Amino acid sequence: MFTERFNEIMTMTGARNRKIAGLAGMDASSFSRLRSGHRIPPKTSPTIRKISTGIYLYMDDRSRLDDLCVLIGAPKDASAESIKSALIDWLYDGQELPAKTPPKRTRSRRRQTPDCKTFGMRLDSAMQLAELSNIQFSHLVNVDTSLISRFRSGVRTPNSNPVIARRITSVLWERLKSLRKTEELANLMHVPADKPDREAFHQWLCGFDELYTVEAYAAERLSESFDSFSTENNVLLPAPDEVVPAHILNDTRDLYEGYEGLRTAVLCFLGNAAKSRAKELLLYSDQAMDWMVEDPAFRLKWAALMAACIKNGTKIRIIHNIDRSLDQMNEAIISWLPLYMTGMIESYYHPLPAGSRFSYTLFLNPGQACILASHVTGTEQGGRYRYLTTPDFLSESLETFRSLSEQCLPLMQITQPYSVPACSKGLTAILPSLSISTMPRELAEELGGPLLVRERDRRRKTIDRVLKTGIYYECVPLADSETLSASNVTVQALQDAPPLHYTKEQYAAHIRQLITLTEQCPNYRLIPLPDTAFANMELLITGESGQIIHTCPPFICIEFTHPLICRSFTEYAGRLIGQYKMDRRSLVQLLKDQYIIE
């Protein structure tokens, strides 16, 4: 009877085994054995609870809970847990259950602990075992308490900072040893009592390659760099005349040899561009970046001259060589970040791979000077670099750059916030607070007047367009009662304007709107985060783009369109959604219980 009913309900869902198995946290092969009748789990087993959860979540996702309730005879207004219990009862109705047998005795009396499948869960369990609060642990690890909170809740990881990861491991290990709790730690790690040591503990806690995908971490690291960027903590760069001596500016050579020669040529090129306030610079090179990165002193001079050009109003168009791994691409973007955040750089990439036989370099100040070189790959360090100023060569070089540009695509570009591609079939927003796009219009008027209403309406048009064809996931931390009572919850609203704050009643009005959207709009999904993922930015992710909106100075919105970067953003969003997604009935009840003032 169980097998017949299980097949009936799977047929009704119309889902493949692996889809519901994924939601249930099981292997698809287990579903195949259940459907064939080769296995019937006990009614009270964890397996059947997982199965009921997977089926429930799948039907909730597709707004078909009413169909499920009709089939299993549950009231349509039943709670999530009641529906799951009714589903289990229905599956086993008429099934002859085996007589209960006493559990087998085992030699080990060690209490079994649940699997911790995320870094946040593992850190939280280890901190509880070590009897450490967020504040205590932050002092011991020497990081901000809010960061420990984000690590512990799982919205962030220390994967991008191996030093912090090692410090976390070391502090916890020493603490657990001093409390003589290594045996309990072994139980948590599901290893024999004599196995835990510092390195094994580190691999269990911070074995990020086993826990998550490389792509998800790449997006987190890139986003973290933007989130932490501030014009206030920039390195003070020297003035151009301190960087380039007069004899280099006035150098009349037309040939430079080796990396040292190339560095001198670049100082001459950028120094004169800064001095003459060049209108634009056109940069391309597919040779290795050793000539720049292996000499820190030169890199500081390069950064100072580039910053000086930008300060003068020089536009820089660069074609990046990104025929490389995602990590290397991230390194290149992060190293250019202070320049990107000025909004004066246009960044492109060529969709075809660079050649493996020759490398090519072209740095051009149109009408003034260019550096030109072509080498057999691997010979650049001892190669020759031409410095050209004659009109014919400059004209030819400009034509070469333009021809190359026509084949390129934007890597990242400055754009208007919430201007996501029209072709997008879905959108995920990772936000530091509730979005004004889902705010009731009258509340926007009350909080910020016509300016806020206008921006709310503009963003809402984007959300409504997405909702017609795809799912809109809104990942956002909900306010705690203490902050809410103090009317200190910020409205993420307008740039260069005084901050706005909700009253408790205004926040409840916004929550009511989210409840209405959740109940009436099948494609709207609120994902309540336990903590703020990024405090100073909003992240909008589609299959075709990743948009980072910096919400503190400099106010800027940068959009990535490279497929690898977009996929990494999608992986990161999927990780957050998978960790914190709730079924809609439970979510609505949570919102009503915590925020609605009767």
Helix (H) or strand (E) holding 206: helix 198-206
CB distance 344 to 315 below 8 Å: yes
Give the C-alpha separation, 202 to 199, whole Å. Answer: 5
Amino acid code (one letter) for 98 = P
Give the C-alpha separation, 374 to 189, whole Å. Answer: 55
383 is written with which tokens?
A: 């190669």
pLDDT computed for residue 112 by the predictor: 46
Which residue's structure tokens are 């609203």? 493
Helix (H) or strand (E) holding 483: helix 481-485
pLDDT computed for residue 598 by the predictor: 59
535 is written with which tokens?
A: 């405090």
DSSP labels for 564-593? Answer: HHHHHHHHHHHHHHHHH---HHHHHHHHHH
The phi and psi torsions of 546 (rounded to 5 degrees) equal -130, 120
Measuring CA to CA, how many Å separate 191 from each of 130, 173, 187, 197? 18, 16, 6, 11
Which residues, listed in sequence order, are joined to residue 372 by a DSSP beta bridge?
362, 386
Q: Which of 576, 457, 426, 585 is nearest to 518 (CA)?
A: 585
The phi and psi torsions of 205 (rounded to 5 degrees) equal -75, -45
* CA 15 to mean position of chain CA atoms: 29
Is residue 20 classed as helix, strand or coil in its secondary structure?
helix
The phi and psi torsions of 516 (rounded to 5 degrees) equal -60, -45
Average pLDDT per block of 10 residues along the chain, 598 residues long: 88 88 81 84 88 90 89 90 92 68 46 65 93 94 92 88 92 94 90 84 83 78 88 73 92 94 96 96 89 88 92 92 69 82 89 80 96 93 95 95 92 88 85 94 94 93 92 94 86 77 94 95 94 93 92 89 90 90 91 83
Amino acid code (one letter) for 433 = S
Give the C-alpha separation, 285 to 265, whole Å. Answer: 14
Which residues, listed in sequence order, are joined to residue 472 by a DSSP beta bridge?
427, 524
43 is written with which tokens?
A: 């009614």
Measuring CA to CA, how many Å separate 35 from each of 12, 16, 171, 295, 337? 14, 12, 49, 64, 54
Which residues, listed in sequence order, are joined to residue 284 by a DSSP beta bridge?
319, 362
Give the C-alpha separation, 415 to 559, whole Å. Answer: 7
DSSP labels for 102-144? Answer: PPPP-S--PPP-----SHHHHHHHHHHHTT--HHHHHHHHTS-
pLDDT computed for residue 113 by the predictor: 47
Q: Which residues, at least 6 apart from 392, have a Cβ–Cβ distance to it below 8 Å? A: none
The phi and psi torsions of 100 (rounded to 5 degrees) equal -70, 140
Q: Which of 147, 185, 76, 155 is nearest to 475 (CA)?
A: 155
Task: Give residue 413's region: left, alpha or beta (phi > 0; psi -120 to 50).
Answer: beta
Measuring CA to CA, how many Å separate 261 from each of 113, 220, 257, 348, 382? 63, 38, 5, 27, 9
CB distance 540 to 162 below 8 Å: no
Is residue 161 classed as helix, strand or coil in its secondary structure?
coil
Which residues, listed in sequence order, are joined to residue 349 by a DSSP beta bridge?
320, 409
- Cα dihedral sign, 388-391-393-396: positive
* Burial class of residue 562, CB neighbours in 10 A (0-12, 13-18, 19+): buried
Q: Which of 212, 155, 123, 217 is nearest to 431 (CA)?
A: 155
Q: Which of 530, 420, 540 is nearest to 479 (CA)?
A: 530
pLDDT computed for residue 317 by the predictor: 95
CA angle in degrees (0–180, nearest 5) for 378-384-389: 135
- Cα dihedral sign, 173-176-180-186: negative
DSSP labels for 333-381? Answer: HHHTHHHHTTT-EEEEE-SSPPPSSEEEEEEEETTTEEEEEEEETT-GG
CB distance 68 to 37 below 8 Å: no
Instruction: List, in order of start, the domains of the chain with CATH numbers.
Output: 2-92 (1.10.260), 119-211 (1.10.260), 244-411 (3.30.870.10), 427-595 (no CATH)
Kindly state the DSSP code that residue 478 receives in the 8-state scheme: P
Helix (H) or strand (E) holding 205: helix 198-206
114 is written with which tokens?
A: 């649940």
Q: For the chain, what percentages of helix, strand and coil (3-state, to nearest 5) are there?
A: 50, 15, 35
Q: Which of 51, 82, 55 is nearest to 68 (CA)?
A: 55
Q: If you count DSSP H runs as helices and E runs as strands, how many of each does the chain have, helices first?
A: 27, 16
CB distance 426 to 577 below 8 Å: no
* Nearest-10 crossing angle of helices 2-13, 80-92: 130
Which residue's structure tokens are 């045996």? 183
Amino acid code (one letter) for 379 = T
Measuring CA to CA, how many Å separate 500 from each of 230, 510, 511? 21, 14, 17
